[in-house]
Every structure is written in C-alpha cells, then in structure tokens.
C-alpha cells in the first residue's frame, strides 16, 4: 500500500511539474524609451505644445493690448461704449480660459495620436514573444511596486527589444 501511495504521489508531482506555468516580466517604460519612434513622436508633441502655447500667448497679448487701448480712451468714451468694450474684454478673457482648457485636451489627443501606435507596437511585440516562448503571464516591471519578488520569472525585455529591432 505504501508503494502505491508513493507511486501516486510521484505521479502527481510529475504531472504538476509538467503543467508549471512560466512567468516573465518586461520593463515597458524602458522599452518604450529605447524605441526610436518615441523620440520622434516626443519631438512632434513638443512642437505641437509650443504651437498651442503660442496661440494662447497671442490671445493674451491681444487682450492686454485691447485692455490698454480701452484704458487710454476711457475718458473719451460714453458709458454705453465702455460697457460694450468691457463686455468684449470679458468675452475675450473667457475665450482664453476656454482655450486653455481645450489646449490640455488637444495635447492629450495629440499624445494618443502620436504615441498610441508605438505603444501598441510594443505591446504586440511583448505578446508575440510571450506566446512564442510559452509564457502564461508577463508583468510590467516599470510600474512602481508591481513586482516585489519574482523567483521563477524571466526578463523578456531583451527578446522584445530584438523583436522590435532595438539594439
């Protein structure tokens, strides 16, 4: 009976070992920073941000000039005309505030437009390497505190770099 129990235990241990899962990890942040496309996208994004800031600064400068002009002719203007000028200045100020809010949205959209395909390309490479090498799960080790200990995990970053053509 002991012999059968020992054989059963040995069989269970062998089957369990044969179904062992493989885990890997990739520092996705470092991987992205090494992709040449990211540098180009970041440069385009910075140029877009500067363009948006220039538009906003132009609007502010125009408002300042209009305000200064209104101040200069304040004494020669009727109260009705002053009210019209004040309403226009308030409308321009509101337009600047709205532009500032929209600018943040526009920059985020541009970021997604430029970096989205690059991030997807990196994710696809990670998925391909993981599937090709039989990994059941791959963790992103660039996220702070996501992996504190990994005994049986393999760093797939070098293989993904190769798949992406990064040296």
* pLDDT given for residue 16 in this prediction: 44
Measured on CA atoms in the order 104, 110, 113, 117, is the torsion positive or negative? negative
Q: Which of 12, 10, 94, 91 is nearest to 83 (CA)?
A: 91
pLDDT 10s digits, 68-113: 988 888 888 888 888 898 999 999 999 999 999 999 999 999 999 9
Average pLDDT, the chain: 84
12/126: higher pLDDT: 126
Q: Is the pLDDT of residue 47 over 60?
A: yes
Secondary structure class of 94 (helix, strand, coil): helix
- Indicate the Cα dihedral angle 30, 36, 42, 48, nearest 10°: -160
- Indicate the Cα dihedral angle 124, 127, 133, 134, nearest 10°: -160
User: Predicted confidence band at 23 (pLDDT cuts at 50, 70, 90)?
Assistant: confident
Q: Is the pLDDT of residue 55 over 60?
A: yes
Query: Residues 156, 129: contact at Cβ < 8 Å?
Result: yes
SS3 track for 41-59: HHHHHHHHHHHHHHHHHHH
Q: Is the pLDDT of residue 142 over 50?
A: yes
Q: Is the pLDDT of residue 42 over 70?
A: yes
Q: Is the pLDDT of residue 18 over 80?
A: no
User: Predicted confidence band at 20 (pLDDT cuts at 50, 70, 90)?
Assistant: low
* pLDDT given for residue 150 in this prediction: 55
Q: How far apart are CA 97 and CA 95, in angstroms?
A: 5
In angstroms and rounded to an integer, the radius of gyration of the C-alpha atoms of the chain is: 30
- Indicate the Cα dihedral angle 38, 40, 43, 48, nearest 10°: -100
Average pLDDT of the segment spanning 118-135: 91
Give the start-to-end residue ranges of the domains of the chain: 20-164
User: Predicted confidence band at 6 (pLDDT cuts at 50, 70, 90)?
Assistant: very low
């Amino acid at each position: 009976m002991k012999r059968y129990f020992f054989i059963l235990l040995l069989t269970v241990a062998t089957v369990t070992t044969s179904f062992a899962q493989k885990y890997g990890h990739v520092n996705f942040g470092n991987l992205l920073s090494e992709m040449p496309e990211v540098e180009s996208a970041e440069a385009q994004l910075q140029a877009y941000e500067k363009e948006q800031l220039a538009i906003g600064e132009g609007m502010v400068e125009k408002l300042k000039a209009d305000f200064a002009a209104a101040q200069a002719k304040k004494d020669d203007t009727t109260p009705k005309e002053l009210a019209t000028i004040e309403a226009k200045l308030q409308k321009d100020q509101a337009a600047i505030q709205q532009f500032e809010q929209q600018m943040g949205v526009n920059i985020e959209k541009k970021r997604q437009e430029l970096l989205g395909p690059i991030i997807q390309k990196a994710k696809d490479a990670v998925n391909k390497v993981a599937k090709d090498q039989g990994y059941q799960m791959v963790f992103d080790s660039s996220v702070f505190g996501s992996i504190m200990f990994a005994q049986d995990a393999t760093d797939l970053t070098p293989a993904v770099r190769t798949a992406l053509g990064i040296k």
